[in-house]
Amino acid sequence: MTRKLFGTDGVRGQANSWPMTAEMALKLGAAAGRYFRRDGRNAHRVVIGKDTRLSGYMLENALTAGLTSTGMNVLLLGPVPTPAVGFLTRSMRADIGIMISASHNPAEDNGIKFFGPDGFKLSDEAEAEIEQIVGSAITPAQPQNIGRAKRIDDGLGRYIEYAKTTFPRRGQLAGLKVVVDCANGAAYRAAPEVLWELGAEVIPVGVAPNGHNINDRCGSTHTDTAAEAVVAHGADLGISLDGDADRVMILDETGRVADGDQIMALLAARWADAGQLRGGALVATVMSNLGLERFLEGRGLRLERTKVGDRYVVERMRAGGFNLGGEQSGHIVMTDYATTGDGLIAGLQFLAAMVETGERASDLVRQFETVPQMLTNVRYAAGQEPLSAASVQAAIADAEARLQGKGRLLIRKSGTEPLIRVMAECEDDAILGDVVGGIVAALSA
């Protein structure tokens, strides 16, 4: 079956436009309810979380209607980080977890992510089955079996308490000043509270959501805001989250940024030294820098690459028994602690490294020298297939020939936006600029 609704991270689009409409959310809720109620039991439950987008109210109500129409009981968590939904799905013995969020995208977008009863995101096969049910007639529950819905007040508190347990008890954060940028998103309450309760002096940024300002000049995709706050307040560290807090960028005391590759390198080295890195490998995507691969090889460790999407990282981790993985974009997946990327817990692990080594953040954020990398996004119109054009194919072939033995090229469609992502790595900056520029020009023609 060709999937049309689901991308690399659930269903996503502009709010009130297909597929992010109330009508489609209702159908998705009913389809998910039918998928998980195939054994006929009536005691099923769903937890639903959301970020701070205005459209979250609309989608939450529509999903709830669809789910309860098939007999599912819905527990509404309100604004919580995406990893909290994964945690609470398993903790509360729910059959489904749903997160309403478009992650790092602007406020006018939204998305719907599904988690299975184990707290992990659904497989491609499960999503394909739900999509097939959406397109067919969905049998509703009998009137006496319609589900109930209620607000859960302690869900966020449960996650906060759990997040604190992932920080080593012997290491407290007293004496450390930490900037945390919550992107006016889902972690605007949880992240500052966790850090403060662990003893840090907290400088909160991006904690005034109004439904429209999520990811707006703040968060992990706009680290200048956190960097300015770090320098202005003389902070020891900056933690910059995205709108649903499943990814993070770390900033040292000078405002310099460490992306997901550098954070993973630090954790992999520390965990390997402590005998905690299972399988002697780190799982990352094809987007991770060649420098990370060389760093790991120098320590006798492996880099296992997957296609782009934290769900594929997690699938490889589970299949291979690995416990550390992630993406350059800041998804850090630590299955000892969470079922999906957790920006807050990753930030706590970085803080643990600072506390245990006594080193400054600037001593830890640069674990390896990156191979020069250039990434350019080219937007295309709906219905177009720009990669099939002969001129684009010729530009790609020329780029591959020029990079032979000197670097690598990766071109892919975004799974969440109408973008072609052109990425290349090469030690020669001139060649790097030429090959990316040539492909971008062909795509834009």
What is the per-residue pLDDT for 279? 97
CA dihedral 323, 324, 329, 330 (to 10 degrees): 90
Q: Outline where DSSP puts E strands in 132-280.
A: 149-151, 177-181, 201-205, 237-241, 248-251, 257-258
Least confident of 2-16, 43-57, 119-133, 251-265: 2-16
The fraction of the chain above a pLDDT of 90, given in percent, is 87
The fraction of the chain above a pLDDT of 70, given in percent, is 97
Does position 3 have pLDDT exceeding 80, yes or no?
no
3-state secondary structure of 430: helix
Interatomic CA distance for residues 241 and 188, integer angstroms: 10
What is the per-residue pLDDT for 2? 52
Does position 416 have pLDDT exceeding 70, yes or no?
no
Q: Which of 69, 103, 288, 329 is catalytic?
A: 103
What is the per-residue pLDDT for 1? 45
Q: Does 444 participate in catalysis according to the annotation?
A: no
Domains of the chain: 6-153 (3.40.120.10), 158-256 (3.40.120.10), 260-364 (3.40.120.10), 373-444 (3.30.310.50)
Most confident of 1-15, 81-95, 407-421: 81-95
Does position 168 have pLDDT exceeding 80, yes or no?
yes
Neighbouring residues of 121: CB distance < 8 A, sequence distance ≥ 6? 9, 10, 86, 113, 114, 115, 311, 314, 339, 340
Mean pLDDT, residues 164-177 taken together: 89
Give me the residues paired with residue 199 across strands.
none
Does position 137 have pLDDT exceeding 90, yes or no?
no
Residue pair 205/185 in contact by the 8 Å Cβ criterion: no
pLDDT band at 39 (very low <50, low <70, confident <90, very high): low
Residue pair 52/160 in contact by the 8 Å Cβ criterion: no
Mean pLDDT, residues 317-326 taken together: 98
Half-sphere exposure at residue 208, Cβ-oriented, CA atoms within 13 angstroms = 1
pLDDT band at 124 (very low <50, low <70, confident <90, very high): confident
Give me the residues paired with residue 14 across strands.
109
Among candidate residues 63, 104, 416, the one with its CA nearest the CA of residue 244: 104
Mean pLDDT, residues 6-32 taken together: 94
Mean pLDDT, residues 266-295 taken together: 96
Question: Is the entire prediction scored with pTM above 0.75?
Answer: yes
What is the per-residue pLDDT for 381? 87
What are the start-end ranges of the H helices in 70-145?
Answer: 82-91, 124-134
Residues 59-113 pLDDT 10s: 999 999 999 999 999 999 999 999 999 999 999 999 999 999 999 999 999 999 9
